[in-house]
Structure formats: C-alpha cells, structure tokens
C-alpha cells in the first residue's frame, strides 16, 4: 500500500445488493457522503458532489463542488471513482485521488472495503504544490492535508 | 448538539472551497486583516468575503477581534494542527463514512425483511 493511500473496511448486516444501492444511488450518497450528489453508478459517468456549509437551502455561494468520475461499476461487487480533479479536466493519476469500494458476501453479510489512493497526487513536489495552489479549484480532505503542509511551511505570522 | 463527527465534516467543508482557502492564504500572509482589505486582494465582493469568514469562524479556523469600528480577522494556527495528521484524518473520515453506510444498509435490509419475510434479498 502506497504511503498516500488509506484502506478501511467494515462488516455490514445486509446483502451486497443493498450495500451497492447505498454506495451508488445519489439519494443515498447524500446521506453518508456529500450533502448533494449528482452521479450514476455507471462506468465513465461524470458527476459532482456538493458540500453545503451554509446548510441545505442555504447560500449557494458557500458550496464546495467536487468533480467525480465513475471508473468501475460492477454491480454488487466493485465500485470505483476518481475525484478532486480540476473542474473541466479529465481525471487521471496526476490530478485526482482514486476511491475503490469492493463488496464481498460473507454468510448473510457484506464485507465492504474502501481503498483511497493518490491522496497527494498533486502535492508530491514543490512544482506540484504550486500548481495545485494555482489551479485546483475544489478539494476535500486531501486538500486539508495540503493546506496543513502549506501552512506548516509558512512563517507563523498569525501565531500570537 | 455538535458532535465530533459533525465538527470534522464542517471543518472539511470549510476548507474544501477554493475561495476560502485563498482567504486563509491572505490571512496567513498578512497576519490579520479586515473584510475590506481581504476583498481588495480577491476577485469576490466584500459581502462574499464576509460570508466566507463567517464559515471559517464557525469551525474555528479564524477568529475576529473588534478594534473600534472594524473587526480584524486572523487564522487560529492551533486549529490547523499537525500536518502529519492528515492521513489519519482521511482514515477517520472513511471510518465514519463506512459506519454511516452500514447504518443505512442495515436499516434498508431490516425494512425489506419486515415487509417480505422470509426473502432476504431485495431488488
């Protein structure tokens, strides 16, 4: 496992079909992930995840809109997507993180694994970091990490 | 009630926005600044900057201090924490998402079973 990847799993008392619905249907995605989701559980589909710190029905100006592209959608078994690429750009290894879900039936339950990799895809060197700061329009947790690095590299003028 | 989970999600949502990160950048560079000064250096209105500052303030990333008629904002570096924690945060975030997925799926499953027992599978 690469240094910039994270793998987690959980055992769920439900069939893979049910779990599949929860991780791929937009109305379900908005209950465990973003506040709003426009995406389909179909390979190649581009969509968006939207976080609304202003609350639902709140100020749209505050929204964070994150691009997502479904890579693999093998019903009840595998679902993966790339996200956090720059708006309008095609996602690839250099500009996005990859999230891969795998579902395995165990007796009457489902083991759900998630692997996120390429978390610092755009921040591996100074040039990448500078590019990220200029070009990356939307982000998430990895951007928090990026921001933390960035802040750590700055003189703490704000520290009082 | 603000739970740790909700608080972390809020922090996340606060920094996921490019304009808010630029506001943070500008504050880090200047040390502190008013809404008006920040708006001069950003391609957004003063009102927009004020809203973004309110979001950042709510999650504790910035703090405002009144000086006479104006409020000067500064980043609260302690909230930014140690960079090395970033990956742990990602992992914790996925744990929480998986826990939510589990809750949702198990409630769907239980509902389906109560309706169409003894069939386990739903469509």
Tell me: the pLDDT tens digits for A57-94?
A: 777 777 888 889 999 999 999 999 998 887 788 898 88
Please indicate, yes or no, whether residues B19 and B70 belong to a single structural domain of this protein: yes
Q: Are residues B67 and B34 in the same domain?
A: yes
Q: Is the pLDDT of residue A53 over 50?
A: yes
Q: What is the pLDDT of residue A133?
A: 38
Asked if pLDDT for residue A54 goes beyond 50, the answer is yes
Name the residue among B29, B108, B120 with its Cβ closest to that of A22.
B108
Question: What's the total number of domains in chain B?
Answer: 2
ipTM over 0.85: no
Residues B73 and B55 in one domain: yes
The verdict on B88 and B72 lying in the same domain is no
| A:B CB pairs within 8 Å | 162
Q: Per the structure block, which two tokens stand in for A52?
A: 């609304």
CB–CB contact A114 B86 (8 Å): no
Asked if residue A40 has pLDDT above 50, the reply is yes
Average pLDDT over residues B78-92: 58
Residue B123 has pLDDT above 80, yes or no: no
Q: Which residues contact A126 (CB under 8 A, 6 or more apart)?
A: none
Question: What is the Cα–Cα distance from A85 to B13, expressed in whole angstroms?
Answer: 17
Compute the distance between CA of residue B5 and CA of residue A142 in angstroms, rounded to an integer: 17
Q: Residue B39 belongs to what domain range?
A: 4-80
Residues B72 and B60: their CA atoms lie apart, in Å, by 15
Give CA–CA dist A115/B32, Å, rounded: 40
Contacts of B48 in chain A (CB under 8 A): 61
**Has residue B7 got a pLDDT over 90?**
no
**Domain spans of chain A, in order of start:** 6-152
Q: Do A54 and A74 form a contact (C-beta atoms < 8 A)?
A: no
∠ CA(B27), CA(B33), CA(B34), 5° rounding?
Answer: 130
Is residue A16 very low, low, confident or very high in pLDDT (cuts 50, 70, 90)?
very high
pLDDT category, B25, cuts 50, 70, 90? confident
| A103 SS3 class | strand
Q: Does B51 lie in the same domain as B15? A: yes
- pTM here is 0.58
Question: Both B97 and B75 in a single domain?
Answer: no
> Is residue A51 pLDDT above 80, yes or no?
yes
Of the candidates B51, B80, B89, the beta carbon closest to that of A59 is on B51
Top-confidence residue, B11 or B20? B20
At B42, which CATH number? 1.10.10.10
Residue A60 phi/psi, 5° resolution?
Answer: -70, -25
Assess if residue B98 is contained within a domain. Answer: yes
Split at pLDDT 50, 70, 90, the class of B93 is confident
Residue B121 lies inside a defined structural domain of this protein? no
Which is nearest to B122 in space by CA: A70, A22, A73?
A22
Q: Does residue B40 sit in the same domain as residue B95?
A: no
β partners of residue A48? A38, A67
- Is-cis flag, bond preceding B3, omega within 30? no
Question: How many angstroms separate the CA of residue B114 from the nearest CA in chain A?
Answer: 13
Collect all residues of chain B within an 8 Å Cβ-Cβ radius of residue A33: 97
Q: Calculate the CA dihedral of residues A1, A130, B63, A155 and round it to 10 degrees.
A: 100
A92: distance to nearest CA of chain B, Å? 20
H-helix or E-strand spanning residue A51: strand A46-51
Together in a domain, B87 and B76: no
Rounded Cα distance between A122 and A136, Å, is 9
Please tell me whether residues B66 and B40 are part of one structural domain: yes
- Is B112 in the same domain as B72? no
Q: Which two tokens stand for residue B15?
A: 């920094």
Domain A6-152 has CATH 3.40.50.970: no
Is residue B123 domain-resident?
A: no
Residues A95, A122: contact at Cβ < 8 Å?
Answer: yes
Q: Give the least confident one: A48-62, A97-111, A116-130.
A: A116-130
- B37 shares a domain with B74: yes
Question: What is the C-alpha separation between B37 and A117, in angstroms, rounded?
Answer: 39
- Specify whether B106 is located in the same domain as B69: no
pLDDT at B82: 38
Q: Which chain B residues are Cβ-neighbours of A159 within 8 angstroms? A: 77
């Amino acid at each position: 496992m690469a240094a910039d990847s994270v793998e987690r799993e959980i055992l769920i008392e439900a069939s893979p079909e049910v779990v599949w619905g929860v991780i791929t249907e937009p109305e379900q995605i908005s209950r465990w992930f973003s506040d709003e989701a426009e995406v389909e559980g179909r390979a190649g589909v581009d969509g968006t995840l939207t976080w609304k710190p202003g609350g639902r029905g709140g100020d749209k100006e505050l929204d964070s809109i994150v691009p997502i592209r479904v890579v693999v959608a093998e019903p009840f078994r595998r679902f993966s997507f790339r996200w956090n690429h720059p708006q309008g750009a095609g996602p690839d290894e250099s500009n996005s993180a990859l999230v891969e879900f795998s579902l395995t039936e165990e007796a009457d339950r489902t083991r759900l694994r998630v692997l996120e990799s390429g978390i610092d895809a755009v921040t591996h060197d100074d040039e990448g970091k500078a590019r990220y700061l200029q070009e990356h329009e939307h982000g998430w947790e990895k951007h928090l990490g990026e921001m933390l690095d960035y802040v750590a590299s700055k003189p703490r003028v704000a520290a009082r | 009630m603000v739970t740790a989970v909700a608080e972390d999600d809020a922090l996340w949502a606060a920094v996921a926005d490019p304009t808010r990160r630029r506001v943070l950048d500008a504050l880090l560079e200047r040390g502190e600044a008013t809404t008006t000064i920040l708006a001069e250096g950003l391609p957004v209105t003063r009102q927009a900057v004020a809203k973004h500052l309110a979001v950042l303030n709510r999650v504790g990333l910035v703090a405002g201090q009144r000086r006479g008629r104006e409020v000067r904002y500064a980043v609260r570096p302690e909230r930014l924490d140690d960079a090395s924690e970033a990956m742990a945060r990602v992992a914790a975030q996925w744990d929480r998402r998986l826990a939510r997925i589990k809750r949702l799926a198990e409630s769907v499953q239980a509902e389906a079973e109560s309706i169409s027992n003894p069939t386990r599978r739903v469509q």
